[in-house]
Amino acid sequence: MNTPLATAVARPSLRSRAPGLLLAVAIALLAWWLGRRLPLIGGPVIGILLGIAVRNLFSPDARFTPGIAFAGKQVLQWSIIALGFGLSLTQVAKTGLESLSVTLVTLTVAFTTAWALGRWLGVHDKLKVLIGVGTAICGGSAIAAVTPIIKPDDHDTAFAISTIFLFNVVAVLLFPLLGHLLHLSDLGFGLWAGTAINDTSSVVAAGYSYSHAAGDYATIVKLTRATLIIPICLILAFATAVREKKSGAADFSLRRIFPWFILWFLVASAIRTTGLIPAAVLLALHDLAEFLIIVALTAIGLSANLRRMIASGPRPILLGLGVWAAVSVSSLAVQLLIGRL
């Protein structure tokens, strides 16, 4: 029987969380500042890299653990909810409907390739899901969204985000060059970049380096693609619930496993869609969401075991390369088939 006293003892207090939470926030502030000056890399990636460096160079002791765990889980969910205020579902659905067919094909290709190639390479299931989701939908944000559902090890999350970042950088440099070599139109390149490059910042960088029209279109396509994280999270939550039930987990509970933060994300998006929130407030909420996700990913970096990441070898990176290549080629192939190129 859980008494109030037992619950209070079992649940870490704010005081016990303070050291780790303050450490994550302090590093995140530095990452946010550096991210503003290095937008190609971005604050979230810098945060997770700094977190990994601090964890493996200085090894924070056990008093930091509760706060780091809180930031890597609860703050992560808050950041996803806050992101909802920056996404108008009506606008994205209206302007991105014509890109949906290409997006759905690339999504299917990403998950199929992640499963088949990951199995062949011997990459375990949770890391396959993280790399597949990150490549298929929206990079680090998608990985952050599914992490509370599938509960991977923190070093797996760090590895997946680092792998996705590597191919983001390659895409920003390579896509515009290939687009010109293939003589893609502005809309054709925008659709390609929006469906085949992972993070929004990298889509924007590649799109606008090609042309202003390509950048505008790529951004809209990317926002449409980002909304697919909602059904993907629900599917993963259901699959996780079924797996736990079959395994006979003693603490199995659909209510516990359901990603309630996704519903709050939808509420935030619906509020944004009404147009009732002033632009200045929306800008502040966007900045808050950006900073919260940096704090959360910094905490994940602070929990990551670099030795275990290195021990994983090149297979996860090869998986990321294979999935990314399959998505890039399939996007162009579908455009060719439907006469968009």
253-265 pLDDT tens trace: 555 555 566 678 7
Least confident of 115-119, 289-293, 332-336: 289-293
Q: What confidence tier does 251 reach under pLDDT thresholds 50, 70, 90?
A: low
| SS3 state of residue 291 | helix
Average pLDDT over residues 9-35: 85
Is the entire prediction scored with pTM above 0.75?
Answer: no
Residue 23 has pLDDT above 70, yes or no: yes
Average pLDDT over residues 315-328: 90
- Helix 100-121 to helix 315-337 angle (10° resolution) is 150
- CA distances in angstroms from 93 to 38, 97, 223, 332, listed in the order given: 31, 6, 9, 22
Residue 23's closest CA among 73, 80, 61? 61
Query: Helices (H), strands (E): how many in the chain?
Result: 19, 0
More confident residue, 65 or 217: 65
- CA distances in angstroms from 34 to 43, 46, 216, 285, 340, listed in the order given: 7, 7, 26, 20, 39
- The rounded distance, in Å, linking the Cα atoms of 103 and 330 is 10
Q: What confidence tier does 34 reach under pLDDT thresholds 50, 70, 90?
A: very high
Per-residue pLDDT tens digits for 68-126: 988 877 887 787 788 778 767 675 566 567 677 788 888 899 999 999 999 999 888 88
Phi, psi of 22, deg, nearest 5 = -65, -40
Cβ-based burial of 31 (10 A; exposed 0-12, middle 13-18, buried ≥19): buried
Per-residue pLDDT tens digits for 187-201: 889 989 988 888 776
Average pLDDT over residues 177-195: 90
- The rounded distance, in Å, linking the Cα atoms of 129 and 110 is 10
Residue percentage of the chain with pLDDT more than 70: 84
Residue 250 has pLDDT above 60, yes or no: no
pLDDT of residue 93: 62
